[in-house]
A and B are shown apart, each in its own frame.
Chain A
Amino acid sequence: MTDVLIKVGFVALAALNGAVIFTIMDVKGASWMQRRPGPLHVGLRGFIFPLAEILKFVQKEDIIPTDVDRPVFKWAPAYVVISAVALFAVVPLSPTLVVADLELGVFFALAISSLSTIGVLTAGWSSANKFSLMGGLRAAGQLIAYELPLILAVVGVVIQAETMSLVGIVEKQIEWGVPFAFSGQIVAFLIFMVAATAEMMRVPFDMPIGESELTMGFMTEYSGIRFLIFYISEYMSMFVLCAIASTLFLGGYHLPFLPVEWVNIYGPISLITKTVILGFILVAVRWSFPRFREDQLQSLAWKFLIPASLLNILVTAILKVVL
């Protein structure tokens, strides 16, 4: 029993901390790229500002408009946050430091991450607001379209690693000596990152929120703590998808030239460093790109990313058989 509690506590803590790290990175990245001060005054040069942000949202009134579908409206943020938090359970910090080393780890991760679609769609539908509805529908279309390249990109990795367990995939990369991103799966890695960006609904794929068009998309009617949950789970899923990407493609917890016995010590550091580097790329992209149009986004997914990932699977499979 205590075992389970520790694991649940760990997952919750990891999710929150991941979100906090990425919030700070996003804001500091923005202030660096946009030459504006950014948060400077809360704590050590503004580094505990996410706490202030959270407290601010918690103390605000949670407004529920009269016309909304109350139970659906209230529960919608839960789906989103659950799908983000549950992903943390399968990310291995080292071969032993993992909450659940599932045999179908990759499959679980991808299945759980698509759960957020339900939350976003119900949030948009139940809000009784036309902008929310359009945001929700855009989000649903987008998440479905980008689920496919995300999965198909991972299939290449799975074929190469011959396993679906995330620990197994890392072990396979150690065996190969080179992370998968640099040994045959570079295309899959790029597709995965693009699809993951769309999955997180970040610029340039943030049409479901699209504040200049849809005010705040499916989040328009939310306020207070429910808005905070949407807000935080965006950063949570950003962190965890980057962590999964670095596990699948960049060797995860493994660092070369270090003794394997110490993996429990350097493993977490290695994984978090890789995650933060990937996250930084996303932050840089967010603050330098305009937004695509919804139809351009769809055609990018269906006409380019999916064929490319299918081709990648084909090539990987052929090489696997031949070599």
Chain B
Amino acid sequence: MNTIDPQNFQTISEASVSVEIETEDMTLNIGPQHPSTHGVLRLVAKVDGEKVYNVEPVLGYMHRGYEKLAEVRTYPQITTLVNRIDWVAGFSNEIPFIAGAERLMEIEVPERAKQIRLILTEMARICSHFVFNGAYALEVGALTPIFYAMEDRERVLDLIESVTGGRFHPNFNRIGGVKPAAGSGPTTKKNIQDLPAGFYRDTKIAMDKVIEAADKFQNLIGGNEVFHKRTKNIGVLSKETAEAYGVSGPILRASGVKSDLRTQTDYLPYDKFDFEIPIGQNGDCYDRWDVRTREMIESAKIVLQAIEDMPSGPLQAKVPKVIKVPAGRTYVRAENPKGEMGYYIVSEGGLGPYRLKVRTASFSNVSILPVMLEGALLPDLIAIMGSLDFVLGDVDR
């Protein structure tokens, strides 16, 4: 029965007037199909109007099982897999894995091969930061920079392609050295040309253009009043929080920690070159953008120095025909464009690893999203997420 007692009704209506109107929070599913989640990241956000209360990233939409897959592959085959982890900078993924295998086999890699690796790694970093510059501007609403970024990146990709034969997935490293380059003419046993003709000249031009482009971005994007309003003091990440969450790479440096594995470890001969490590002060979105853009210039400088003084010598160390890695375990880490990438290789002496654990930068970087996004506004959510510059392949593997 649904009768209304008039007396009771009175009290109820009075009560409901005095009590503030209670509104339910809206649960907003951002992704997995959303234009600015860089792929298939899903964020379950509790929002009250524009304000975000609570964010929970849901990962795994792009899980491809590479760690498990690696257990049934031989070492040379695995380089094709790891290429695809962070596809924006495919080349840099190979380096720590190959270095790990080489360390277990105790192979001394020729200087020239190391230098070629270094050049291509830095080019991959430049490509990655180009993509970031374009995509981040797009996320805060500026449509133009991405076209400039893609056009300039193409020049660098062409160079990578001329050496390795692949634009995104080079698969260029071999255990003990690198593959003879793609555009280098007949590769007979006697006559191995490693770099394609004209590489020196083209690289010089391309790197000058990269420095020019980075300057252009600093004016075009960094000089824009609206961009400042959207990024300065937004998503401030303190030094302590960043370190506590295992954040690495440009994000950590933007928070003021001078940590760069290029100078701290010796996986590639970075100590031969003279470069700066850009760091930020505030740890906000603007600093993260700024650090990456300055890093582009530094990377271009490293490449320019490296092509000036190329050591001569073979491309390959002496390795057995069938590659077997002796039993043991090792962890090699490298400074990738997105942050620290490491491979923990457990070998039992077979053709392939017994277990391969991949530590990717984006995975740790994404884990800080709930902390950073608490209390942010919805447009800031996009700005903060974009400033972390993750790639879903790198998060899920």
Give A contacts to B, CB under 8 Å.
30, 33-36, 130-131, 134, 137-138, 203-204, 206-207, 210-213, 215, 286-296
Given A203-B141, A287-B144, A290-B140, A215-B227 contact (CB < 8 Å): no
> Is B141 touching A210 in the complex (CB atoms < 8 A)?
yes
Give A34's nearest chain B residue, CB to CB.
B147
> Is B377 touching A294 in the complex (CB atoms < 8 A)?
yes
> Is A212 touching B378 in the complex (CB atoms < 8 A)?
no
* 3 smallest beta-carbon distances between A and B, as pairs: A291-B141, A290-B142, A34-B147
> Is A290 touching B377 in the complex (CB atoms < 8 A)?
no
Q: A211 contacts which chain B residues (CB < 8 A)?
A: 35
Q: B147 contacts which chain A residues (CB < 8 A)?
A: 34-36
Check B143 for interface membership: any CB of A closer than 8 A: yes
0/1 string, B379-396, CB within 8 A of A gives 1: 111100000000000000
Check B108 for interface membership: any CB of A closer than 8 A: no
Give B contacts to A, CB under 8 Å.
26, 28-29, 34-36, 49-50, 137-144, 147-148, 151, 224, 226-227, 229-230, 377-382
Return B178 CB to nearest CB of chain A, in Å. Answer: 35
Given A34-B148, A35-B151, A134-B50, A293-B142 contact (CB < 8 Å): no
> Is A294 touching B379 in the complex (CB atoms < 8 A)?
yes
Choose one: B137, B148, B151, B379; the contact of A207 (CB below 8 Å).
B379
> Is B379 touching A213 in the complex (CB atoms < 8 A)?
yes
Given A210-B141, A291-B141, A35-B378 contact (CB < 8 Å): no
Q: B28 contacts which chain A residues (CB < 8 A)?
A: 130-131
Given A35-B147, A130-B28, A290-B141, A204-B378 contact (CB < 8 Å): no
Q: A207 contacts which chain B residues (CB < 8 A)?
A: 379
Choose one: A33, A213, A290, A296; the contact of B227 (CB below 8 Å).
A290
Given A34-B148, A290-B142, A212-B35 contact (CB < 8 Å): yes
> Is B143 touching A213 in the complex (CB atoms < 8 A)?
no
Q: A204 contacts which chain B residues (CB < 8 A)?
A: 141, 226
Counted as pairs of residues, one from A and one from B, with CB atoms less than 8 Å apart, the total is: 80
The CA of A279 and the CA of B148, in the complex, are separated in Å by 24
Give A131's nearest chain B residue, CB to CB.
B28
Return B77 CB to nearest CB of chain A, in Å. Answer: 38
Given A134-B50, A290-B230, A34-B141 contact (CB < 8 Å): no
Choose one: A137, A206, A215, A288; the contact of B144 (CB below 8 Å).
A288
> Is A293 touching B144 in the complex (CB atoms < 8 A)?
no
Q: A296 contacts which chain B residues (CB < 8 A)?
A: 229
> Is A212 touching B139 in the complex (CB atoms < 8 A)?
yes
The CA of A137 and the CA of B147, in the complex, are separated in Å by 32
> Is A295 touching B50 in the complex (CB atoms < 8 A)?
yes
Q: B29 contacts which chain A residues (CB < 8 A)?
A: 130
Q: A130 contacts which chain B residues (CB < 8 A)?
A: 26, 28-29
The CA of A81 and the CA of B144, in the complex, are separated in Å by 29
Q: A289 contacts which chain B residues (CB < 8 A)?
A: 141-142, 224, 226
The CA of A36 and the CA of B139, in the complex, are separated in Å by 20
Return B180 CB to nearest CB of chain A, in Å. Answer: 36
Q: A210 contacts which chain B residues (CB < 8 A)?
A: 141, 379
14 residue pairs from A and B, CB less than 8 Å apart:
A34-B143, A130-B28, A204-B226, A210-B141, A212-B141, A213-B378, A213-B379, A287-B143, A289-B141, A290-B141, A290-B227, A291-B140, A291-B226, A293-B377
> Is B378 touching A292 in the complex (CB atoms < 8 A)?
no
Return A280 CB to nearest CB of chain B, in Å. Answer: 16
Give B151's nearest chain A residue, CB to CB.
A35
Give A215's nearest chain B residue, CB to CB.
B35
Return A35 CB to nearest CB of chain B, in Å. Answer: 6
Choose one: B50, B144, B151, B379; the contact of A33 (CB below 8 Å).
B144
Q: B49 contacts which chain A residues (CB < 8 A)?
A: 137
> Is B50 touching A294 in the complex (CB atoms < 8 A)?
yes
Q: B36 contacts which chain A residues (CB < 8 A)?
A: 212-213
Q: B139 contacts which chain A residues (CB < 8 A)?
A: 212
Return B217 CB to nearest CB of chain A, in Å. Answer: 13
The CA of A259 and the CA of B142, in the complex, are separated in Å by 46
> Is B35 touching A293 in the complex (CB atoms < 8 A)?
no
> Is B137 touching A290 in the complex (CB atoms < 8 A)?
yes
Give A289's nearest chain B residue, CB to CB.
B226
